[in-house]
Structures are given as C-alpha cells and as structure tokens.
Amino acid sequence: MTMGRLTNARIGVLMGGRSSERDISLKTGQAVYQALIRRGYDAVAIDITDRLHRDLEDQKVAIAFLSLHGPGGEDGAVQGFLETMGIPYTGSGIRASAVGMHKAATKMLLAAHGIPLPAGTVVWECDRPSLAKVLRQTKLRLPIVVKPVSQGSTIGVTIIRHSRQWKEALTLAHRYDPEAMVESYIPGHEATVSILGTAAEGSKVLPAIEIVASDGFYDFASKYQKGRTRYLCPAPLPAKVVHHISELARRAYEVLGCEGAARVDFRITPRGRPYVLEINTAPGMTETSLLPMAAAHVGIAYDDLVEQILQSALDRASRLARVVPTE
C-alpha cells in the first residue's frame, strides 16, 4: 500500500449521467479517476445509469467520488440516493446541493444574509408574461439576463438587449427548466472564487480568477472552446475588491453549508461593486478547470486537490459512524 494514502476503501468515481453537462462530467470524472489511480487508490470509474444501485454493489464501492454536473448529479438527488445506501460521498450534502443548484433558492438564502445579488424574478413556463409587464413589476431596465433556474455551464442563458429577443430567450430557458430566472445585467468584470473545506473545520479561499471572454459573454462555447476566453489568476482587480469577493464567497459557501469544494461566480461593476451570480457546489475538475487553476496558484497540485476533496467523504463517513478502511 502507498504511504500517505487516506483510505484503502474502494472508491467509485461517479460521472456522466443524463444531464446536458454529461460530456463535461465525463471529462471531470476521468481526470479524477486517473489522479486517484496515480496515488495508488483502489478506484473504479462508473458512468451512472438506472443500474447505479447494482453497479455500486457489484463493484463493492465503499466511497463515492462525485464528478457529476447538472440536474440529477449536483442537485441533491444522487446525494440522497447514496445516503439511503449508506455510502459516503464527496462534496456538499443534500441541502447545500439542492439549494445551490436552484438559483432562486440560492438567492433567497443569500439575500437573507445580506449578500449582494442582482435584482430579478422568476417566470414560470405556464405564465409567459410580456416583457413590458416583467420590467414594470421588477423595475428592471434592459439589458437583462434570462436563464434556467436549475442549470449549469451557462446553458440556456440569453442577454436581452432588445425587446424582440424576449420570447425566444424565455423559450430557450424553459427548454431546460419550467422556471426561468430574469435578472438585471451587471456590466463590468466577471470573476470567480473557489473554496475548499467545511464550515465546521474552516474553509480555505483560493485566489480569485478574472474571466475575460472574447465576445464579452462567458457562454457555453466560451467555457469549453479553446482560445475563446482568457483566465487571469490571480485576478488583476484592486486589492480591496479581491478581498471583498473572497469574503463574500466564503460567506456564501458557509451559509449554504457546502463541503469539499465549491465555486462562487461574480459580476463586478466598473466601480468595483460585486454581485454574486451563483454558487457551483460541484465545480469542474478537469486539469484545466478553474478550481484546479486557482489551487495550483497556491501550490496545490491536481492530485493533492483530489485528495483534499476525497477527505470530505471520509469526514462524512465519520459523522455517519460508517467505518471505511484507512491506512
């Protein structure tokens, strides 16, 4: 056995699934799986299907490393499933995952703790109000942002600058979720802050990253097509702004009760006022993703980062009084 290994229990790296982020999840899962193998862990890669219960039993999985993105993977569903099986898992628990995936619920909780958020509302698919009505009720002005309430990777998002875009934007958002979030568009900079750890044991804030998309909109293509976006780490923003968003990210992480790792996304006005857009409780873990990028800047190598996140499953096992083999 390799010295320093956290556990000799079999680890199932859960990836894939059926969400619109399946391909990204497979990349995350393979990167995590390879890191665990390099460190000498007994790991198996599992592309989840409706046979998940049988696969976990057949493979004798004792710990789940979650590499899932999108609905069904980071919304509390698989977390609850694993808890019914008594299998500890990495990352945030059921409550934090469910709230973090639902942007409207996230906003309600964070707003109650004084965290700044863009003004907005939710439009249900069955309502389909006119743009004029929504603007009047919310006191918003164009441009505005329309996006699905429960999606990641900027899927289904539209920045509306002209009223003629309204119906198409709603249709797109509702294609992915019966609830669409309508928010004020915040001009300025885009940045993200990643956090590691638990509220109980202390969270570690990693360096902020500024995101500069070539066309000014950090959409799905900008995230995953090479050369479409520049990532500046550490973010070349005023020290006061960086400190502010770092503290806001920590507060958001702890208010939701996140564990393992999460990433908080911001828009920052030209005058330096930040607004939290959302929190990602299952951030991407490919070797070029933003969480590993920020970790590398403070000397945390990718394989070490994977082990730190693995620790969140061992902590959960301890709380559940479930014994897993350790060195």
pLDDT the model gives residue 322: 54
Domain 120-184's class?
A: alpha beta
The Cα 75–Cα 169 span in angstroms is 24
Threshold 0.85, pTM exceeds: yes
Closest to 87 measured CA to CA, from 36, 46, 31: 46
pLDDT the model gives residue 326: 60
For the residues of 70-96, what is the DSSP string, one character each? Answer: STTTSSSHHHHHHHHHT--BSS--HHH
Q: Please enumerate in sequence order all residues whose Cβ is within 8 A of that of 319, keeping only pairs 6 or more positions apart, or say none.
A: none
Closest to 218 measured CA to CA, from 209, 94, 15: 209
CATH superfamily, domain at 98-116+187-281: ATP-grasp fold, B domain (3.30.470.20)
Domain 11-91+302-319's class?
A: alpha beta
In the three-class reduction of DSSP (H, G, I as helix; E, B as strand; rest coil), residue 274 is classed as: strand
3-state helix/strand/coil string of 2-28? CCCCCCCCCEEEEEECCCCCHHHHHHH
Bridge pairing between strands 209-213 and 11-16 = unpaired
pLDDT the model gives residue 17: 85
Locate 128 and state its tokens: 């389909």
Catalytic residues: 21, 153, 224, 263, 265, 278, 280, 284
The helix or strand, by DSSP H or E, that contains position 263, with its residue range, turns out to be strand 261-268
CA angle (186 as vertex; 23, 143 as ends), nearest 5: 90
The rounded radius of gyration (Å) of the Cα atoms in the chain is 20
Residue with tokens 């790792």: 261
Domain residue extents for the chain: 11-91+302-319, 98-116+187-281, 120-184
> With contact defined as beta carbons under 8 Å apart, do 147 and 181 qualify?
yes
Which residue stretches of the chain have pLDDT < 70? 1-3, 152-153, 199-201, 214-228, 321-327
pLDDT, tens digit, 9 for 90 and up, residues 108-132: 999 999 999 999 999 999 998 999 9
